[in-house]
Amino acid sequence: MARNGRAAGVSSALLVAGTSSDAGKSVVVAGICRWLRRQGVSVAPFKAQNMSLNAAVTADGSEIGRAQAAQAAAAGVEPEASMNPVLIKPTGERQAQVVVMGRVLTRTSAAGYQDLKDRLLPVVLDALEHLRSRFDVVICEGAGGVAEINLRHSDLANLGLARAASLPVVVVGDIDRGGVFASLFGSLALLDPQDQALVRAFLVNKFRGDVDLLEPGIAELQRRTGRSVLGVLPWVRGLEVDAEDSLALEAPRRAAPPVPGGATLLVTVVRLPRVSNFTDVDPLAAEPGVEVRFTDSVTELAAADLAVLPGTKATVADLAWLRSRGLDQVLSNRARSGKPVLGICGGYQMLGRCVDDAVESGAGPVEGLGLLPVETVFEPDKVLARPSGLAPSFGATRVDGYEIHHGRVRRHGGEPVFVVDGASGEGCRSGAVVGTSWHGVFESDAFRRAFCSWVAGVRGVAWIPGTGSFADAREARLDLLGDLIADHVDGAALLGLIDGSNVTAGATLPVVTTGLAD
């Protein structure tokens, strides 16, 4: 395989598709990227079209999916807009914001987005080619399920991309959900012959138990389809790469045990209908003795040591939902009794006196929860930045974050949470209520520990901070993903797909049918 640029006539890209959402595509792509990087291969991730409310900001101020940023970290490269040229951010049941090459293009309905796709395909292909011209290998991730036949005519991310860019495809199936053989076979059988010819192999993901028990099924699947199963990846706790789908919130989060002699802090995060950037609390969950739960329970929210109102792509709608569930009253009661409350981005906006939104919801001025002396006005231009500052009320610790928001928050009292180069500051703290527009602040180890120590002090909990680095913990998870590929996948066969050395064999792959007449 070439090490510096693409060799002539060699396919340097692979598409990892799935039988469904949350089958493990993002994890597999990250693992392959880390595995290739260890071999001295320059590699980049790519996802043509991502539907996610979890976003990251690149060094040049572009907005991409957080999963692609995590995959770039696995590859050891800086994330960039070309790695996720189209990002769809739902703002309601039928509306979404469309981000193209890192910048907002439009807001549209699901039907309207389908009309955009002819314009977006050249953008997607140009972005992919831009990466392929600079890296030895590009590992592409599909979206949703590979056999979304209702959307195939305008597909940008799965077989539409594979056909346009001549990409070999590996399909991942999640055995933890059950029915993996039917899912893999059925997904293949639903594709037309031209698309089937691009599907070269399968991967089984999240297996628990004795792999020998799978062998008869694997052998039969290979016999019926003519495609090999490259490997069986075991189910391993704690493999989370920055998730792009709120389905990830269904899985319970394991709490690291407290430092010996210390107690546990309980953090509850309001599970808003359109929650965004919920990965903000991942560093808290990695801290020893901090238990993080997502909930819409009044009782759980009231009992927590810290209640977090997270980001949202629909501040006004989720604020109304909050009130409809009585959660607003719980937060107000917490504030009056001095129990810590934290709002992040959209959650911060809700904590203020007023949200004036003529941009996303078109609702105009809406009364906020009134727990912080701030007001928010939405502007058409989105703020995209990666700020740094100090947290004067939390040990003057250094903090790095990122911003993605239309709302401009004006503070009319309280004190700033962060100070940037001696400026007036960002965020607001009033009593036990804290708000900030910055995402990712808990990745800064010293600030995370100072903040949790403050919560513990207010609550009278004998919590003891840990000493580990979240960045090191994330690197260890990415290394574990690379280990999974190295230990459980046929590496020679995988490299053969990537570098094109076994693509000619695809001409003999059988076309699979359901057995019914076409």
> Which residues are part of the catalytic machinery?
345, 439
Euclidean distance between CA atoms 218 and 211, whole angstroms: 10
Neighbours of 119 (CB within 10 A): 10
Measured CA angle at 236 (ends 230, 242), to 5 deg: 95
Neighbours of 35 (CB within 10 A): 24
For residue 508, the one-letter residue type is T
Exposure of 202 in the CB half-sphere (CA atoms within 13 A): 31
Euclidean distance between CA atoms 444 and 389, whole angstroms: 11
Residue with tokens 């903090």: 399
Euclidean distance between CA atoms 227 and 267, whole angstroms: 46
**Percent helix, percent strand, percent coil in the chain, to nearest 5:** 35, 25, 35
Which helix or strand (DSSP H or E) is residue 112 part of? helix 110-132
Euclidean distance between CA atoms 488 and 63, whole angstroms: 34
Q: Do 155 and 482 form a contact (C-beta atoms < 8 A)?
A: no
Q: Do 151 and 193 form a contact (C-beta atoms < 8 A)?
A: no
Euclidean distance between CA atoms 322 and 331, whole angstroms: 10
56, 60, 62, 65 alpha-carbon torsion, rounded to 10°: -30
Euclidean distance between CA atoms 64 and 56, whole angstroms: 5
Helices and strands in the chain, H and E counts? 15, 26
Of 67, 72, 83, 74, give the one whose Cα is nearest residue 31. 74
Of 97, 196, 114, give the one whose Cα is nearest residue 150. 114
Largest CA distance in the chain: 73
Q: How far is CA 194 from CA 188, 190, 509, in A?
A: 11, 12, 11
Which helix or strand (DSSP H or E) is residue 354 part of? strand 354-357
For residue 76, the one-letter residue type is G
> Tokens standing for 138?
């590009």
Contacts (Cβ under 8 Å, ≥6 apart) of 507: 197
